[in-house]
Structure 1
Amino acid sequence: MRQYKSAILALAITAALSACSPADQAAQGQQMPPQEVGIMTVQPAQVKLQTELPGRTQAFLEAQIRPQISGVVLKRLFTEGGTVEEGQPLYQIDPAPFEASLASAKASVLRAKANARSAELTFKRYQKLVKTNYVSQQDLDDAEAAYQLAIADIKVAEANQNTAEINLNYTEVRSPIGGHIGKSSVTPGALVTANQAQELATVQQLDPIYVDLTQSSAALLALKSKLASGNLKQADSAEVSLTLEDGSTYSRAGKLEFAEVNVNQTTGSVTLRAIFPNPDGVLLPGMYVRAMVTTGVDDAAILVPQKGVSRDAKGNASVMVVGADNKVEARPVNATEVVKGQWRITDGLKAGDKVILDGLQKVRPGAAVTTVDATAQQ
């Protein structure tokens, strides 16, 4: 009976030992070694901050060509879609009526001068005769008035001659600017009128070219606040780069010209205008583009790779850092924007902090770790 009880006790002890897991047995025997994690050491650096804005291209100069006189178009003097120079003739309007008007105006000047000469001689003659009482003072006054009126008639006739010359010059419709010209809305034989609503053609100067960008007024106010507080400083040059409609990057950099002083009441945005060189004519008016605008400079920016920053359900950002005792600590941070693929941290980190980048899934706050430089492994 005693042997039977001893056998039962031995079986119970064996079963109890087999119920313990290997991990528990190892924990009882010795403590697990610290987990190895990859870290980066925070080192502030100067960073140019940029923002991406949508925009459309606009011609640098645009001239809508309209006639300044009425008449029949005799010739078109340009090639549609080509390039024209400033002052180049574009259309020839029939000059015959205006040549006749100019000839008539010149004759009127000659007549006015002849009448003035006669009035001058009469006035001078009366000046002598009035002393002998051969003519009355009234006659002298009338002669002087006639002479002054004749001089005025000369000036009127000369002004009419100038107008006739101007109108004759307007029979050649010239381009006020140099650039690319579009299609013509009239053909030879068409009757045009002075200052008509429909333009004959449009000339656009495309080198350089404007890009009008839109930015929310709230974002603009936030930027001005950061500059005023000293968190950012104004960039020396507001450089702008473009991404075209096909996703390619425009090869030439532009610069910001000005910001509109009024806010669009419908969209709540302001307009920024940038100017770009366009010698090859790649940019055409009306193209949709996206621009990267340099808004300021952070002299002590802290950048952390995106994989090192996590967010909770409310969107609050945090990082895992290794303290002086090699223990893991959860640190809440303020991650405001992405710069070159990394989060820009404005609060929560300082120079020398060790941020965990690799092995985050294997550690928890309070755990002891060993560290290696994750940036050296990249």
Structure 2
Amino acid sequence: MPSSFSSITRGALPVAVLLAASLAVTACGKKPEGMPQGSATEVGIVTVQSEAVPITTELTGRTSAYLVSDVRPQVSGLIKSRLFTEGGYVRQGQSLYQIDAAPFQAQYAQAQAQLAQANAALTSAKLRAERYAELVKVNAVSKQENDDAQAALGQAKASVQAAEASVQSAAINLNYTKVAAPISGRIGKSNVTPGALVTAAQATELTRIQNIEQVYLDINQSVGELNRLKRAAAGGEISEAATADVELILDDGSIYPLKGRLQFSDVTVDPATGTVTLRALFPNPNGALLPGMYAKARVISGVVGNGILVPQPAVTRDPKGNAMVMVVSKDNKAQPRPVKTTQTVGDKWLVTEGLQPGDRVIVEGLQKIIPDAPVKPVTIGAAAEKK
């Protein structure tokens, strides 16, 4: 029995020793690869600073020509000829249509003849009045006859003035037979052809001229938004914008290269829409903007004096929709921070509450961390240079 027990013990001893040694190594050694090590996670950060940030508002509107003139005849008659090319550029004073001038030429000649008659009658009345004025002094004519002569002279002078006015009126009507361009600009299609009968001040225009060297953009802003900005300015949250520059955003999303200027803000609220009209004027040297185009205007409505801009990927939302960011604490741990965002400025959020200058905000690596986890902050610009 002892010999048997002794043989078993001698055979099992190496196995036990190896097992004990293996356990000791496992207990004292490192964890197997693939298990969490508890080391800090590298994250990309930005250090935020306060700055003056303009508050912009995007409003929709439509363009209209700087000057518009509907051309209508000022005398009645037959159109003899059209003197412009449709769609071309015309200058102020340029003849556009020729109305048959023969009747008006005759009226002008008749008015001139009446003026000549009036001048002849005036000469006769003047000579008679001068003679009677001398004869009445020697009692050669009665005072009544002299008074009648003087009155006849006054009537002759009045007749001359009336005839001169008739000549002037006839000359104006004759001149109106040449329908001239009231303004310079691009002219549209003609609504009449030679041979058409037109009447003075008719409802239908002959054609339309639009000056688009500059273009208006009429935009609408809600009264609620306008009042909110006024309250923010009164409360000191924002200051009034020092510039009235306006950017125009075309319907394809591109930015018009030339900035416009805000001209005025209407004082009347449209009862149907609850909006007020703002008008901006844009230079249009190449004619890229056409009347009636849909566009958006980016208007600077105020300036936040101590705004903080944070990249948009850094801002997340909690289940209630509140804005949150992750900041790096002094001991390099990730900490959630509720913030208040007002609007986007390019690719950043404008944060007005919740952050202070110098805070380190995590932008990259948010999906790899949890609150209070240790992190290794790397400035995004420095990380890009390192790569």
Q: Distance between the aligned counterparts of 1:81 and 1:371, measured in 2?
A: 64
Q: CA-to-partner distance for each residue in 1:233-261, whole Å, 9 max, x for gaps?
A: 34443322323233433232222222222
Identity, in percent, stands at 52
Q: CA-to-partner distance for each residue in 1:67-104, whole Å, 9 max, x for gaps?
A: 00011110100011111111000000111111111111
Equivalent position of 1:179 in the other structure: 185
Q: Does 1:207 align with 2:213?
A: yes
Alpha carbons of 1:225 and 1:376: their partners in 2 closer, same or farther (altered >3 Å)?
A: farther
What's the secondary structure of 1:270's corresponding residue?
A: strand
Equivalent position of 1:254 in the other structure: 260
- Code of the aligned partner of 1:60: Y
- Code of the aligned partner of 2:243: S
What's the secondary structure of 1:221's corresponding residue?
A: helix
Out of 322, 328, 337, the position equivalent to 2:328 is: 322
Out of 271, 280, 289, the position equivalent to 1:283 is: 289
Equivalent position of 1:18 in the other structure: none
Q: Does 1:272 align with 2:287?
A: no
Structure 1 moving runs of 4+ over 6 Å: none
Aligned-residue offset at 1:112 = 1.1
Q: Does 1:115 align with 2:121?
A: yes
Alpha carbons of 1:373 and 1:230: their partners in 2 closer, same or farther (altered >3 Å)?
A: same
Equivalent position of 2:362 in the other structure: 356
Q: Distance between the aligned counterparts of 2:37 and 2:283, measured in 1?
A: 68
Equivalent position of 1:75 in the other structure: 81
Aligned-residue offset at 1:129 = 2.0
Q: Distance between the aligned counterparts of 2:219 and 2:266, measured in 1?
A: 10
Alpha carbons of 1:191 and 1:277: their partners in 2 closer, same or farther (altered >3 Å)?
A: same
Q: Does 1:337 align with 2:343?
A: yes
What's the secondary structure of 1:54's corresponding residue?
A: strand
Give the greater-gyration-radius structure (CA).
Answer: 2
Structural RMSD (CA) = 2.5
Equivalent position of 1:157 in the other structure: 163
Aligned-residue offset at 1:368 = 4.1
Q: Distance between the aligned counterparts of 1:368 and 1:75, measured in 2?
A: 88
Alpha carbons of 1:375 and 1:229: their partners in 2 closer, same or farther (altered >3 Å)?
A: farther
Q: Distance between the aligned counterparts of 1:310 and 1:375, measured in 2?
A: 22
Q: CA-to-partner distance for each residue in 1:112-142, whole Å, 9 max, x for gaps?
A: 1111222222222222222232322222222
Aligned-residue offset at 1:362 = 4.0
Compare 115-124 and 234-243 and name the one that shifted more. Answer: 234-243
Compare 336-345 and 347-356 and name the one that shifted more. Answer: 347-356
Instruction: Report how many residues are paired.
Output: 354
Aligned pairs (5 A) from 1:23-172 = 32-172=38-178
What's the secondary structure of 1:275's corresponding residue?
A: strand
Aligned-residue offset at 1:160 = 0.7
Aligned-residue offset at 1:35 = 4.1
Q: Distance between the aligned counterparts of 2:321 and 2:266, measured in 1?
A: 34
Q: Distance between the aligned counterparts of 1:154 and 1:206, measured in 2?
A: 48
Equivalent position of 2:3 in the other structure: none
Q: Distance between the aligned counterparts of 1:51 and 1:241, measured in 2?
A: 10
Compare 133-142 and 345-354 and name the one that shifted more. Answer: 133-142
Q: Distance between the aligned counterparts of 1:370 and 1:247, measured in 2?
A: 40
What's the secondary structure of 2:154's corresponding residue?
A: helix
Q: What's the TM-score, normalizing by structure 2?
A: 0.84
Q: Distance between the aligned counterparts of 1:247 and 1:364, measured in 2?
A: 38
Equivalent position of 1:9 in the other structure: none
Q: Distance between the aligned counterparts of 2:353 and 2:209, measured in 1?
A: 53
The gaps in structure 1 that reach 5 residues or longer are: 1-21
Q: Distance between the aligned counterparts of 1:375 and 1:348, measured in 2?
A: 24
What's the secondary structure of 1:307's corresponding residue?
A: helix
The gaps in structure 2 that reach 5 residues or longer are: 1-26
What's the secondary structure of 1:371's corresponding residue?
A: strand
Q: CA-to-partner distance for each residue in 1:18-49, whole Å, 9 max, x for gaps?
A: xxxx9xx97xxx99344443332221233333
Aligned-residue offset at 1:282 = 1.4
Q: CA-to-partner distance for each residue in 1:310-330, whole Å, 9 max, x for gaps?
A: 223332212222333434433
